[in-house]
Amino acid sequence: MSDPKMKILVVDDFSTMRRIVRNLLKELGFTNVDEAEDGAVALQKLQGGDFEFVVTDWNMPNMDGLTLLQSIRKTPALKHLPVLMITAEAKKENIIAAAQAGASGYIVKPFTAAVLSEKLQKIFEKMGKTTA
Amino acid sequence: MSDFAGMEDLLQDFLIEAGDLLSGVDNKLVDLERAPNDRGLLNEIFRGFHTIKGGAGFLNATELVTLCHLTENLFDKLRTGELDLSSEIMDAILDATGTVRVMFRSLEQGVQPKAADPNLIERLELALQGRLDAGAVQAAQSKPVVEEKPVSSGGIELFTDPAPAAAPTPAPAPAAGPDWIALHHAVSGQPAAPAGSVAAAASSKPAAPAAPASTNPGGAQVPVVAKKTPEEVIKDAVGRRATDRPGAISAPVGRRENERQRDTSIRVDTARLDQVLNLSGEIGLTKNRLNALRSDILSGRNDSETLHALDLAVSQLDLLVSDLQNAVMKTRMQPIGRLFQKYPRIARDLARNMGKDVELVLEGEETEIDKTMIEDLADPIIHLIRNAVDHGIEDPVERGSTGKPLKSIVKLQAQQEGDHIVIIVADDGRGMNPERLRAKALEKGLITDEEANSMDERQSFNLVFLPGFSTADQVSDVSGRGVGMDVVRTNIQKLNGSIEIRSQANKGTSFIISLPLTLAILPVLLVRLGDQPFAVPLSMVREILPIDPEAVKEVGGRATMVIRGEVLPVLPLSGLLGWPLDRTPEYGVLMQAAELSFILAIDSFAGREDAVIKSLDDFRPKGVAGVTTLANGQIVLILDMKELLGAAGEQRGVTRRTLIREAPTPKPDQKTLAA
């Protein structure tokens, strides 16, 4: 099962949105949450800290979520990190692009804690299988 | 009651952040109009709508999501080059941002926004299909709402309908489209009527201002946008503030409460807060160190090592406290750019409504200013900009005939000058005519004939600040609200600031607002008259010099000194304070107050200090800005030089004879005089 102490990084340029995601995570029992305002800042934080999970927006200045995901997958120390993409786009090509870049999950805004929980569970299950 | 039970906090956050974002978008739209192919701008605007949409989704604000979604899609096509930005698309986009703002206002009142005007949605959809041309707009705007598709007619008769809003009775409401809904919604505070009945609402509103049809001589640039009065433009752009005035139909009480909530919160860069935290931690450590040293000393240890350690700890505390003061002050400071952001769009809309081509140029947006001041400046600056666009700038015909470039520049500029922030609103228009101003004031009975004759240019300009003064054309657009330049000046003065006017015929007019940086800490120079210390703001001090009686000359019956070629009046402080002049001042402080330089003659000085101002709110003698306490516990008055000089008026100069006592009691350091 998931560890509630798990250190999670929430990446979004819109602070209200970071707060929303943070609150939803809190509802699910995850309280060890840090924030970053774009991909570039996120990457720096990831390299510096022992994060275990990344929840990122797609559309951001400086470095967008997809590029962040690609950079994570390219970095040996980070490539195992589960990355959940959050976006307002439900377009097929976006979902495919995210999947190809190695996203662990994909959520379309707006969503509820239940949806988030379900996606997280799926990711944890998959992780459990690969590490087992 | 509220549609957002349990989400109020989130809603507030969203509104503040999304509001900033929207102002940014508005601003970029104005830039975009001048650089329609700028990919970076298109991207940023796209992201703005996208982000607002994302947040709105969580608030279940479906209509806001729909509108943002359409606009965002439009920008997606624009940024990929699939569509080109036409003026019709631009208008649709500008209307869309206006509607988004209206929706924010509705959210502010805790009510889910109503659907955007179907016309707007349709125009956006047409634009998305690449079919929004002038003809389609015309059709979309003049057809009944219920129809499905517009007839794409030739689009030749573009200007047959110059001011639909001015039509007297049953105005074809859809022609005015989103503006009526916005207006009705904003003014009445009630949910907008369903689109079908908007016509009734619009035509039955006597307050609906008739747009002056004559303001659009050029016409060509403004084919389809319904005319709005400047007040409407401003209201659309800034929302709550402009409406929340006596005279306007009062808003529901709930909204006021919301506003109060918003105004008391502040967003601070976490780095700045961290600095405060860090410094207070350091001070805690230093306090511990001092405590330990105290017990050492109390128990009899007073060797040089202990005393040295004490000295170190105290100087460290000194440093830390002043750093902390600065850091705390900085948390209240915000870049003025956040205020400036909303103006380019307002200026653009105002100018377009009047058929003028005006670019608002911003300068010094990074200048930081106390947050409370930012809020209180919003309205005065709007008024000044409106004034510049409306009255300062000539209409295109006049501009053309005087050989000026058709496009006029209005500059909005902020900069820090010492402990003051200076904000300038400058236009390159026709300038103010002192002659006409005096005639006007005379006619209105604001001044007497005699006063008019004795007024210089500057005094004449200042007439516009008199309550009740307004030039003829002003009456029409302020719609009798009585909000004029006098309110602007009153508001600035409330902030301890001042406003002055410089104007040159045919070159333009500048309004110069000068404000204190903060109301808390002031570096001062301590000067003495006899034994009595006074503090003067250090920012005004240029240098300190000894007064050599032989260097004091008399010019025009006034004592003056020539400093590096500059002839400066010598004003004894005792004279300004109304004290008897019974000894020759020994030192002069070269000071600069606004455009006036002078030498303040004093007996001696006692160094500089960072004064923590305690204001004398209820009891404030003229010329005294406040008091502060010196290290030795002595209370010192902080002088307000501008006020002192003003109070002394033209009588402030003294003759050389009064200044230099001819039979001084010889002092050892006055050999020159004795010799």
A63-85 pLDDT, tens digit each: 889 999 999 999 888 988 999 99
Decide: helix, strand or coil at residue B578. coil
Structure tokens at B432: 């103010």
* Most A-contacting residue of B9, B50, B72 (CB-CB within 10 A), to test interface: B50
State the nearest Cα–Cα gap between B606 and chain A, in angstroms.
50
If 0-12 CB within 10 Å is exposed, 13-18 middle and 19+ buried, where does residue B369 land?
buried
Closest B-chain CA to A87:
B54
Residue numbers in chain B where pLDDT is lower than 50: 1, 139-226, 239-262, 472-482, 663-675
- B358: phi then psi, degrees, rounded to nearest 5: -130, 135
The token pair that represents B378 in the structure block: 């919003």
**CA of A108: which chain B residue's CA is closest?**
B54
Please report the pLDDT score of residue B420 as a whole number. Answer: 78
Contact B603, B574 (CB under 8 A): no
**A15, A61, A88 ranked by CB distance to B54: nearest:** A88
- With CA atoms as reference, the chain B residue closest to A12 would be B51
* Average pLDDT over chain A, rounded to an integer: 86
Do residue B60 and residue A110 have CB atoms under 8 angstroms apart? Answer: yes
Question: Which amino acid is it at B642?
Answer: K
The minimal CB distance from B10 to the residues A19, A87, A109 is found for A19
Q: B75 to chain A: which residues are within 8 Å by CB?
A: none
DSSP 8-state code for residue B116: P
Question: E strands of B496-621, at which residues?
Answer: 498-504, 508-516, 521-529, 532-537, 541-546, 552-555, 558-563, 566-572, 587-593, 596-602, 604-612
- Predicted confidence at residue A125, as pLDDT, reads 85
Determine if the peptide bond prior to A110 is cis (ω within 30°).
yes
Q: Which residues of B touch A88 (CB under 8 A)?
A: 50, 53-54, 57
Which two three-digit tokens encode residue B651?
């009588």
Q: CB distance A16–B10 less than 8 Å?
A: yes
Cα–Cα distance between B176 and B174 in angstroms, integer? 5
Residue B260, φ and ψ in degrees, nearest 5? -60, -40
Q: Do A16 and B14 touch (CB under 8 A)?
A: yes
Compute the distance between CA of residue B305 and CA of residue B206 in angstroms, rounded to an integer: 85
pTM summary value: 0.53
Residue found under tokens 């060797």: B303
Half-sphere exposure of B186 (CA within 13 A, CB side): 32
Among B447, B592, B448, B605, residue whose Cα is nearest residue B525 = B605
Which of A10, A12, A14, A66 should be substituted to probe chain B, the one whose Cβ sees the most B Cβ atoms within 10 Å? A14
Cα torsion B73, B154, B167, B228 to 10°: value is: 40
Residue type, B409: I
The C-alpha of A5 sits at a distance from chain B's nearest C-alpha, in angstroms, of 24
pLDDT, mean of residues A107-126: 85
Q: Chain A residues with CB inside 8 Å of B8's CB?
A: none
Other CB atoms within 10 A of residue A130 CB: 8
Region for residue B151 given its phi and psi (left: phi exceeds 0; alpha: psi -120 to 50; beta: otherwise):
beta
B415, B368 Cβ separation under 8 angstroms: no
Q: Which two tokens stand for residue B548?
A: 């050599």
Tokens of B372: 């409370």
- Taking contacts as CB-CB distances below 8 angstroms, the residues of chain B near A45 are none
- Report CA B395 to chain centroid distance, whole Å: 26
Looking up tokens 């409370």 gives B372
A chain contacts of residue B51, beta-carbon cutoff 8 Å: 13-14, 17, 59
Residue B419 to residues B199, B379, B537, B644: CA-CA distances in angstroms?
54, 23, 8, 18
Question: Which residues from chain A sit within 8 angstroms of residue B58, using beta carbons?
Answer: 17, 20, 109-110
- Which amino acid belongs to residue B59? L
Across the interface, whether the CB atoms of B13 and A19 are under 8 A apart is answered yes
CA angle A105, B64, B187 (to 5 degrees): 160
| Cross-chain residue pair B13–A61, CB shorter than 8 Å | no
pLDDT at B481: 43
pLDDT score of B617: 66
Smallest Cβ–Cβ distance between B57 and the set A23, A60, A88 belongs to A88
Mind listing the pLDDT tens digit for each residue in B611-631?
777 777 677 777 888 888 887
Please choose, from the candidates B59, B106, B104, the residue with its C-alpha nearest in 3D space to the C-alpha of residue A17: B59
Closest-approach residue (CA) in chain A for B21:
A14
Judging contacts by C-beta atoms under 8 Å, the chain A residues touching residue B21 are 14
Q: Which residues of A touch B10 (CB under 8 A)?
A: 16, 19-20, 23
- In DSSP terms, which residues pair with B605 in a beta bridge? B527
Maximum Cα–Cα distance for chain A, whole Å? 38
Of A16, A88, A109, the CB nearest to B13: A16
B600 closest CA partner among B672, B528, B496, B522? B528
- Chain A, nearest residue to B58 by Cα: A110
Rg of chain A over CA atoms, in angstroms?
A: 13
Residue type for B78, please?
Answer: L
| Helix (H), strand (E) counts: chain A | 5, 5
The tokens for B500 are 């002055």
Tell me how far apart the alpha carbons of residues B636 and B80 are, in angstroms, rounded to a whole number: 66
Beta-strand relationship, A105-108 and B532-537: unpaired
Residues of chain A in contact with residue B53, where contact means CB-CB under 8 angstroms, are 88
How many whole angstroms separate alpha carbon B21 and alpha carbon B46?
11
pLDDT score, position B142: 45
Whether B54 and A19 lie within 8 Å, measured CB to CB: no
Q: What is the pLDDT, as a whole number, of residue B513?
A: 92
The shortest CB-CB distance from B53 to any of A23, A60, A88 is to A88
DSSP 8-state secondary structure symbol assigned to residue B613: P
